[in-house]
Amino acid sequence: MSRTNGLYLVIGALVVVVIGLGDYIYHEQTKPKGVELSIGQNGVSVEKK
């Protein structure tokens, strides 16, 4: 039974990785395009996206 439990653990980990990667890709593709303003210790920076 230990071998079967290990297999389920590997399959579960792969499913979690695939879901996480899919979510990351979806959010990267749906980011709004335009200008990004950042205010930090070095002042104001403007980055065109």
Q: What is the pLDDT of residue 47?
A: 82
pLDDT classification of 1: cutoffs 50, 70, 90: low
Q: Encode 11-47: b = buried (16+ Cβ within 10 Å), e = exposed.
A: eeeeeeeeeeeeeeeeeeeeeeeeeeeeeeeeeeeee
Q: 45 or 15, which is more confident? A: 15
- Per-residue pLDDT tens over the stretch 29-47: 888 778 888 898 888 888 8
The full set of domain ranges for the chain reads 2-48
Which pTM does this prediction carry?
0.60
